[in-house]
């Protein structure tokens, strides 16, 4: 009877999202201050305790600074924000600066070769077993997007350094969006198949140095392919 039922948005979630939207829209630019609690809670239609909870969550993530007895200050979230800001931005693509996705791919270029090397160095059979599945992948955008995400997540886990996984998880929303656009191109899927096959060989041979080189070359190539895909789309 409740198949079409969806839970209502919690007031503190609503307040948090409304404030993030206002910050990104420029209603509350970096360096400005928020109105007093009483006025702001009335504007948002929430109670003051609910507003305080939302403000504390936003302060935790770096959007703003709350100081007792002083107006709440809006931060420059590009400089003061954390991974939760990155996760939130996936819901506001219109506010991303030019070249933002390329910057994300450059971060992956710096991280992926290292965690891939470490994952192969540990010689865990999980990497070999997962890569062996690439030969059965359906030649479909969504299939490749999901597989690529799962591979990189597995590599971070098998690297032995949990920080890699935490960082990658911060990209999950963007990763899915980018991957679905990236793998629309048949060339991108072909290049990834070659990467998976080459990486499988290094994992079987337990050659971490070669795995690092292959991953770096592929991550660099993916940036070039992404820029080509975006140029064609535009």
* pLDDT at residue 76, rounded to an integer: 94
What is d(CA 186, CA 73) in angstroms, rounded to the nearest whole number?
48
Tell me the whole-structure pTM to 2 decimals.
0.78
* pLDDT of 121 above 90: yes
For 125-149, what is each residue's pLDDT tens digit? 999 999 999 999 999 999 999 999 9
Give the largest Cα separation in the chain, rounded. Answer: 65
Which residue pairs from 12-18 have beta carbons closer than 8 angstroms and sit at least 24 positions apart in sequence? 12/46, 12/50, 12/53, 12/54, 12/57, 13/54, 14/44, 14/46, 15/44, 15/46, 15/50, 15/51, 15/53, 15/54, 16/54, 16/57, 16/58, 18/44
Answer yes or no: is 2 within a domain: no
- Do 66 and 117 reside in the same domain of the chain? no
What is d(CA 225, CA 234) in angstroms, rounded to the nearest whole number?
14
Show Cβ contacts of residue 143 under 8 Å, excluding neighbours closer than 6 positions.
137
* pLDDT of 165 above 90: yes
Answer yes or no: is 154 within a domain: yes
Our CA angle for 81, 82, 84, nearest 5°, is 110
Answer yes or no: is 224 within a domain: yes
Containing structural domain, residue 183? 97-233
Average pLDDT over residues 24-34: 93
Answer yes or no: is 88 within a domain: no
């Amino acid at each position: 009877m409740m198949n079409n039922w969806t839970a209502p948005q919690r007031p503190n979630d609503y307040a948090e999202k409304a404030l993030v939207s206002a910050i990104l829209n420029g209603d509350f630019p970096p360096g400005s201050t928020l109105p007093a609690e009483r006025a702001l809670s009335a504007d948002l239609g929430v109670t003051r305790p609910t507003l305080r909870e939302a403000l504390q969550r936003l302060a935790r993530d770096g959007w703003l600074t709350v100081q007792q007895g002083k107006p709440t200050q809006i931060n420059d979230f590009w400089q003061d924000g954390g991974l939760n800001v990155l996760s939130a931005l996936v819901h506001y693509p219109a506010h991303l600066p030019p070249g933002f996705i390329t910057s994300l791919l450059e971060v992956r270029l710096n991280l992926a070769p290292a965690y891939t090397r470490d994952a192969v160095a540990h010689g865990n059979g999980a990497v070999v077993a997962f890569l062996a599945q690439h030969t059965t992948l359906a030649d479909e955008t969504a299939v490749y997007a999901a597989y690529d995400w799962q591979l990189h997540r597995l590599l971070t886990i098998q690297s032995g350094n949990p920080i890699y996984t935490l960082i990658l998880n911060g990209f999950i929303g963007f990763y899915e969006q980018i991957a679905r656009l990236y793998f629309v191109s048949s060339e991108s899927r072909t290049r990834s198949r070659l990467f998976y096959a080459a990486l499988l060989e290094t994992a079987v041979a337990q050659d971490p140095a070669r795995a690092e080189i292959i991953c770096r070359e592929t991550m660099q190539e993916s940036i070039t392919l992404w820029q080509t895909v975006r140029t064609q789309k535009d």
